[in-house]
Amino acid sequence: MNLPSRVITIAGSAAGGSAGIQADLKTFQELDVYGMSVVTAIVARHPETDKNVHLQTLEAIEAQFATAMKQVGADALKTGMLFSREIIEKAADLIAASDKKTVVVDPVMVGKLDSKLLADDAIDVLKSRLVPMADVITPNVPEASYLLDGRNLKTVDDMKQAAIDLYDLGPQYVLVKGGRLKGEAVDVLYDGETLTAFEAPRVDTENTSGAGCSYSAAITAYMTKGYSMPEAVRLAKSFVTTAIEYGFTYTDMVGPTYHAAERMKGEAHKIKVEKL
Ligand code: PXL
């Protein structure tokens, strides 16, 4: 039997199950990748104290990584919510010391459910330590803007320039995701030479919690299966667009995407790919 490839996500736990570690693991499972997790923080609002971000210790983070590596090993590593300078540095040290093959860095900053997922003083270590290790970084428009000192990004042309400038931080690829702009959902990939646009129709829904996590998890999964970066992005965007299309909610809160949609509905979205 060909064993499934192995991915460790180093990210936050989203108790509601729509985003973070939970979204990553659901995505890995859907794409037949063996998922493991290193929980950096637990995001869960306490009804009385209102505390929402519960950081894990560096010791607990290191122990989880050591356990996953020893028990299974990894073909790829993905990072999500890391929150603090110290955790970012720890994640960078662990990645540097491992014989990793693929590193996907999702520079998570703010969740759809109002939580702040990156400390104000942590952006510089994210840029200087973690981003340069990445095969790909996957910022959405607000994250790309923050990584570029607050630059205003409104159009696909702005996203193109952002991708070019973020490439200077040292990753192999930059994917700027335009889901938060108006019109078609256009994402721009840059590899230092070529800009490629990936376009999907906009889905009219509020239930997109964790869409970004799931998208970058799917990119990671497809990369471990040997797809090139543009192919991994196209397939992952198709996966997440179908998951968004069938997103739902159980309550009056923003709901999850439907991770099983592609499998259960037997549908894959056609993504328009265009060299710019
Ligand atoms: O969707 C971004 C995100 C990432 N990671 C964690 C989250 C969220 C959003 O709520 O809770 C842990």
**Nearest CA owner, ligand 1 atom 4:** 20
Give the rounded percent of residues in the chain with a pLDDT score beyond 90: 89
Q: Report the nearest atom of ligand 1 relative to the CA of 41.
A: 12
Using the CB atoms, write b or e for 227-263: b if 16+ within 10 Å: bebbebbbbbbbbbbbbbbbbeeeeeebbbbbbebbe
The counts of H helices and E strands in the chain are 9, 10
Output Rg (C-alpha) for the chain, integer angstroms. 17
Whether 49 is covered by a domain: the verdict is: yes
Domain that holds residue 12: 6-275
Pocket test for ligand 1, best of 18, 40, 43 (most atoms within 8 A of CB): 43
Query: Mean of the pLDDT values across residues 80-97?
Result: 97
Q: How many angstroms separate the Cα of 276 from the Cα of each of 153, 171, 201?
A: 18, 20, 18
Residue 57 lies in a domain: yes
Cα 145 to averaged position of ligand 1 atoms, centre (Å):
18
In a domain, 43, yes or no: yes
Rounded CA-CA distance 141/187 in Å is 10
Distance between CA atoms of residues 154 and 145, nearest Å = 10
Q: Decide if 252 is inside a domain.
A: yes
20-29, 44-53, 176-185, range with greatest mean pLDDT = 20-29
Contact predicate 231/222, CB 8 Å: yes
Rounded Cα distance, 14 and 33, in Å? 20
Looking at the domain assignment, is residue 1 inside a domain? no
Q: Which amino acid is at 263?
A: R
Q: What is the pLDDT of residue 100?
A: 67
Say whether 115 sits in a helix, a strand or coil.
Answer: coil
What is the arithmetic mean of pLDDT over 241-264? Answer: 95
**Residues 242, 208 contacting (CB under 8 angstroms):** no
Q: Is 61 helix (H, G, I), strand (E, B) or coil?
A: helix
In whole angstroms, how far apart are CA 169 and each of 106, 130, 135, 195, 239?
14, 10, 12, 17, 28
Q: Is the pLDDT of residue 73 over 80?
A: yes
Taking the CB of residue 151, how many other CB atoms lie within 10 A of it? Answer: 13
Q: Domain of 221: which CATH number? A: 3.40.1190.20
**Ligand 1 pocket test: which of 108, 113, 208, 214 has the largest number of ligand atoms within 8 Å of its C-beta?**
108
Q: What is the pLDDT of residue 181?
A: 86
Tell me, what amino acid is at 133? M
Residue 262 has pLDDT above 90, yes or no: yes
Q: Kindly state the average pLDDT of the residues 7-35.
A: 97
Helix (H) or strand (E) holding 205: none
CA dihedral 247, 140, 268, 5 (to 10 degrees): -100
Distance 143 CA to ligand 1 centre (A): 13
The CA-based angle 221-76-98, given to 5 degrees, is 175
d(CA 199, CA 95): 32
Question: Residue for token digits 């037949």?
Answer: 32
Q: Could you read off the pLDDT of 17-29 as tens digits, one per residue?
A: 999 999 999 999 9
| Averaged pLDDT score across all residues of the chain | 95
Q: Is the CB of 20 under 6 A from ligand 1?
A: yes
Count: domains in the chain: 1
- Tokens 């840059």 map to which residue? 190
- The tens digit of pLDDT for each residue in 116-139 reads 899 999 999 999 999 999 999 999
**DSSP run (H or E) holding 230:** helix 229-245
